Structure 1
């Protein structure tokens, strides 16, 4: 199993990201992942790093589909591959219904159909094909200008079984988030593997896992709430957790935070304890685990998050 890191805060200046990109250069971390950039755009940030000579593999998990057309998504993903000289994982997801309505005027009529069309268009464009799709949600008749580039793997964000099956059909990577090792192994990976897949290689499984090292100055409930609290207020995350046997109220509360820890969604403990829990993802069949120290970054600052990530990465088995 490979280890990567998620940028654990939303930067307002590109210089703030340099220490985390250097963690990828200097440690066992394979890739620098980002979620959807809401201040500095994520693809632009990686290209800025490449421009100052810090070229590291990048992952985007996930870019929200309503913010860009599939053609623009393909251009941006390949642009990052060209700028960095490294393979890219470009993960996409439809986002919440409220976000879709706010950006597009109304939600997608079908989350699965919209995601299928989007991923298939992006994959086709990146493969160098002429893509002609007149879909329910996305329409394109286009081809990318040919340019040799490192490969771009197309991923799909996966929370529940139906999206996992779709990822197994059309995506290179299924990207899970806020799923315990048991839920990923017992529910999501079997759904991915059950898909009627026509692509040559099986879908890889990437799990983004919230983590924090324990310490005398730390509150596990504060850290778990900071890392996951905004997500568990959304209905689709609440439904995902219910399917994993974790019933949350959705209100900011210590009780919900404790449930995330007890349910294995948020990993908290010593380096040894964290690695023991991460090994459960390996046993479940995960190919890549992405260490998400966002809770630490939000509560104790980016430097503390970087120290946590360094300590955990130093313990990665060689």
Structure 2
């Protein structure tokens, strides 16, 4: 059965701005509150602030970028996050763009797949309470986390393309996709996840899809909402490559045309509640276990009240 969660639709700079969305998860049909990677603030501190304010809910962080922290620090922070939230946590990670790797590490990963394999292996081992002895090409960790009673944690890997999806099948509990059309997930990502899992004789990871949406409104320009939410993504080579593989012709030199293509290609959903229900059902049928509703374009254009009202309408009318 596919579940539905919500994404905090902005980068977390001031944690109090997150509280209405944490409250929404408490009283609505949403399963989990997801916080995306951002340049301002930190999801761990934001969740701790929300919990101390009386809003303790299941949490997902995705996708945190590996160059920002050593895997021991990532595991330590994730453990503390689960304790603070008091609910299950999905901790997603990914190598990020090569330009970020260059800026923080001095050089891009020679193999993002190899670096991600090492990173998740260390994090999962630490969170499982193991004494980790890892001496790899990218990371070294000879340590153990203290045993702390906490809710369960799933370790996720951000996946856009088939090679990373196969790796997720081998080493992750969860695969997290972003801006990926349902047909691409069904035809490319899910088979790669299964192949990776079969190669290691392990269960297929859960698939989480962060799906950008905007209900049809008078005077609303959907292309502007796409750009408000995803200009950064549309400029990144790895997102453009994934979208082209999915049959979405994205020209990074013409973002207006790229936004139109993203809508036509099913990477950004727009329409009436009924139409969105049909489009969201395609993600369920593609094998997605958890759909995360992303209304960041609506938030950028109309603010927090409009974003919450839209999430409420989607969950009440468009989600079975």
Both proteins in one fold, TM over 0.5: yes
- The one of 292, 295, 299 equivalent to 1:293 is 295
Deviation at 1:198, TM superposition (A): 3.8
Deviation at 1:265, TM superposition (A): 0.3
Distance in 2 (CA, whole Å) between partners of 1:11 and 1:150 is 24
Distance verdict in 2 for CA 1:34–1:136, change over 3 Å: same
SS in 2 for 1:63: strand
Q: Does 2:286 correspond to 1:284?
A: yes
Distance in 2 (CA, whole Å) between partners of 1:74 and 1:252 is 40
For residues 141-170 of structure 1, what are the alpha-carbon distances to aligned partners after superposition, in whole Å with 9 as ceiling and x for unaligned? 000011111111000000000000000000
The within-5 A match list for 1:71-86 is 71-86=72-87
Deviation at 1:200, TM superposition (A): 4.8
Deviation at 1:248, TM superposition (A): 1.0
Distance in 1 (CA, whole Å) between partners of 2:311 and 2:153 is 26
User: Which residue matches 1:233?
Assistant: 235
User: Which residue matches 2:109?
Assistant: 108
The within-5 A match list for 1:5-20 is 5-20=6-21
SS in 1 for 2:225: helix
- The one of 283, 308, 311 equivalent to 2:310 is 308
User: Which residue matches 2:28?
Assistant: 27
User: Given the two structures, how large is their TM-score scaled by the length of structure 1?
Assistant: 0.97
Deviation at 1:217, TM superposition (A): 2.5
User: Which residue matches 1:218?
Assistant: 220
RMSD: 1.2
Contact residue 12 and residue 42 of structure 2 kept, 8 A? no
SS in 2 for 1:141: strand
The within-5 A match list for 1:55-204 is 55-195=56-196, 196-198=198-200, 200-204=202-206
Distance in 1 (CA, whole Å) between partners of 2:241 and 2:13 is 32
Long gaps (5+) in structure 2: none
User: Given the two structures, how large is their TM-score scaled by the length of structure 2?
Assistant: 0.97
Distance verdict in 2 for CA 1:104–1:138, change over 3 Å: same
SS in 2 for 1:290: strand
Aligned length: 318
SS in 2 for 1:98: helix
- The one of 238, 245, 258 equivalent to 2:247 is 245
Deviation at 1:197, TM superposition (A): 4.9
Contact residue 182 and residue 283 of structure 2 kept, 8 A? yes
Long gaps (5+) in structure 1: none
For residues 104-151 of structure 1, what are the alpha-carbon distances to aligned partners after superposition, in whole Å with 9 as ceiling and x for unaligned? 111111100000000010000000000011111111000001111111
Deviation at 1:45, TM superposition (A): 0.2
User: Which residue matches 1:40?
Assistant: 41
Distance in 1 (CA, whole Å) between partners of 2:244 and 2:301 is 27
Deviation at 1:316, TM superposition (A): 5.1
